[in-house]
């Protein structure tokens, strides 16, 4: 069973999004150069064809990026809820956030919170405004920990 630290969940980022944005920027730059070449050489149709191909590629990548952005926004919302629960549990138990671990980055029925040596099953009510902690005992040993950035 793997547990993630508060800092890992709060600071987790997505580098592939930055890569896709860089590729989109490069394609926009290529489109600008091709449109200039097309304007200067109006009789040469290869620049027009390359321009159309690059615009279609840009539209495709922009659609993919928009879809990923929606997915990341949903994922960030889920991680935010888990870190809020972790923060409240830390305050409730009187421990530092570094002593609180969660086994998943999404709020679901299998969410476990580890506080020092105790593991709790978190039950969130249907409207998401409150939770209940119940002591739990893990069956699977050993436990693995992912610390992440500080």
DSSP-derived 3-state class of residue 45: helix
Please state the domain extents for the chain.
2-146
Q: What pLDDT does residue 13 have?
A: 58
Q: What pLDDT does residue 14 have?
A: 58
Cα distances (angstroms) measured from residue 78 to each of 14, 24, 43 = 15, 28, 55
Distance, in Å, from the CA atom of 76 to the CA atom of 82, rounded to the nearest integer, reads: 10
Query: For every one of its 150 residues, what pLDDT tens digit does the chain have, with 9 covering 90 and above?
Result: 788 888 887 776 556 667 777 888 898 898 888 888 888 888 878 888 888 898 898 899 888 888 877 877 777 767 778 888 888 888 988 898 888 888 877 777 778 888 988 889 888 887 767 888 889 887 777 887 788 754
Rg for the chain, CA atoms, rounded: 24
Contact 57, 31 (CB under 8 A): no
5: closest CA among 149, 122, 108? 149
Contact 6, 148 (CB under 8 A): no
Contact 46, 54 (CB under 8 A): no
End-to-end CA distance of the chain: 22
Q: Which residues contact 35 (CB under 8 A, 6 or more apart)?
A: 51
Q: What pLDDT does residue 123 have?
A: 86
The strand pair at 2-5 and 144-146 is best described as: parallel
Q: What pLDDT does residue 137 have?
A: 83
């Amino acid at each position: 069973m793997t547990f993630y630290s508060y800092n890992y969940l709060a600071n987790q980022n997505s580098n592939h999004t930055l890569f896709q944005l860089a590729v989109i920027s490069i394609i926009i730059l290529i489109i600008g150069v091709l449109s200039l070449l097309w304007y200067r050489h109006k009789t040469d149709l290869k620049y027009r064809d390359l321009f159309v191909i690059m615009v279609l590629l840009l539209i495709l990548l922009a659609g993919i990026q928009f879809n990923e952005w929606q997915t990341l926004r949903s994922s960030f919302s889920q991680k935010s809820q888990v870190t809020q629960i972790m923060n409240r549990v830390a305050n409730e138990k009187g421990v530092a956030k570094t002593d609180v671990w969660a086994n998943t980055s999404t709020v679901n029925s299998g969410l476990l919170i580890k506080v020092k040596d105790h593991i709790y099953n978190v039950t969130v009510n249907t409207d998401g405004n409150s939770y209940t902690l119940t002591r739990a005992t893990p069956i699977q040993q050993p436990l693995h920990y992912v610390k992440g950035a500080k």
